Amino acid sequence: MKWLKEVDGELWLTEDDRENLKLSYRVKKVIHAEQSPFQHVMILDTYDFGPTLVLDGVIQTTSIDGFIYNEMITHIPMMTHPKPENVLIIGGGDCGVAREVVKYDSVTRVDMVEIDELVVKLSKKHLPEVSGNLSDPRVNFIYADGTKHVRNQPNQYDVVIIDSSDPIGPATQLFSLEFYTGVAASLKADGLMVCQSQSPIFHMDIVNETQTKLKTLFPHTDVYTAVVPTYPGGLWSFSLGSKKYTPESIATGWDKAASYVNADILERCFSIPEFMKQALK
């Protein structure tokens, strides 16, 4: 396994997605490693972050900090919409987003479209801290290509959450205007979507391009951030596109149990650092 190396009797995972900055995690145990038809999937037990999902050598979610990303990509759109009923999750194989979505009583149906069934299977089995042993009957698992799915679901969803991996390999098309156009068509007339849009430190270009694309499709767009320790740069961006609702009074009625999100964080997350503001102009 090219991503794992033994050094002085210790096992280390070194991510190789960045050329000039490497994060290395000491590994207790390889819980599972398997090549799926789409990517190389590992569950590693790490010393600092516990059981961890690794796709093609890149950490996707960990038992210790996975909640930050999953809560932030979920609760901001869900609190922006006054009554989300039909929700689509694209990607999100670790089940962490679905777990947050089903906290809303208004939700009647969650379509979870993940291309790789192996990721769901392993996350449910080995990452209960992330997946929460998700067994809510409202969640429909659909193992398919998200870009194709949205084309056949016009006017269906209140909220679409795009929980993709990085824009390399299979996830590249999840960052395309063509795909966002499909997402917009799959939303109801007052629907809204959110996607992860990479690191403002290293990829302000992607943050900007995502906003540019969403602006052609939605009257309201916005960017918010959260801190994800296991993503390079720490600061992470999310982009919102909405046909009608805007994230004002977003904390009103907040009553969920969560570990990162609270009313303050909901209200604060759209306050972005000055260098981001200037780069977005």
Q: What residues are designated binding site for spermidine?
A: 94, 163-166
Applying CB under 8 A, among 185, 227, 244, 246 the residue interacting with a second copy is 227
What is d(CA 249, CA 263) in angstroms, rounded to the nearest whole number? 10
Q: Which residue number, 71 or 158, has a Cβ lying nearer to a second copy? A: 71
Q: Which residue number, 19 or 248, has a Cβ lying nearer to a second copy? A: 19
Asked if 48 is part of the footprint of a second copy (rule: CB under 8 A), the reply reads yes
* Backbone CA torsion sign across 266, 165, 234, 237: negative
Q: What is the CA radius of gyration of the chain?
A: 18
Q: Which residues are known catalytic residues?
A: 163
Asked if 18 is part of the footprint of a second copy (rule: CB under 8 A), the reply reads yes
Asked if 24 is part of the footprint of a second copy (rule: CB under 8 A), the reply reads yes
Residues 59-118 touching a second copy, rule: CB under 8 A, are 64-65, 68
Using CB under 8 A as the criterion, what x/- string covers residues 184-223 for binding a second copy? -----------------xx---------------------
Q: Which residue number, 159 or 261, has a Cβ lying nearer to a second copy? A: 261
Q: Specify the pairing of strand 86-91 against strand 157-163.
A: parallel
Binding residues for S-methyl-5'-thioadenosine: 39, 114, 145-146, 170
Residue 76 region by backbone torsions, left for phi larger than 0, else alpha for psi between -120 and 50, else beta = alpha
Tokens, residue 55: 């796709």
State in angstroms the smallest separation of the CB of 202 from a second copy: 8
Using CB under 8 A as the criterion, what x/- string covers residues 258-277 for binding a second copy? xxxxx-xx-xx--xxxxx-x
Tokens, residue 167: 């824009």
State in angstroms the smallest separation of the CB of 69 from a second copy: 12
Which residue type does 154 have?
Answer: P
Residue position matching structure tokens 């000491």: 26
Q: Distance between alpha carbon 59 and the CA centroid of its chain, in Å?
A: 13
What is d(CA 165, CA 179) in angstroms, rounded to the nearest whole number? 15
Which segment (73-81, 104-112, 168-176, 224-232) binds a second copy by CB under 8 A? 224-232
Asked if 19 is part of the footprint of a second copy (rule: CB under 8 A), the reply reads yes
The CB-side HSE value for 148 (13 A sphere, CA atoms) comes to: 6
Tokens, residue 66: 């996975």
First vs last C-alpha separation in the chain? 44
Q: Which residues form the interface with a second copy (CB under 8 A)?
A: 12, 14, 18-26, 46-48, 64-65, 68, 201-202, 225, 227-229, 231-235, 258-262, 264-265, 267-268, 271-275, 277
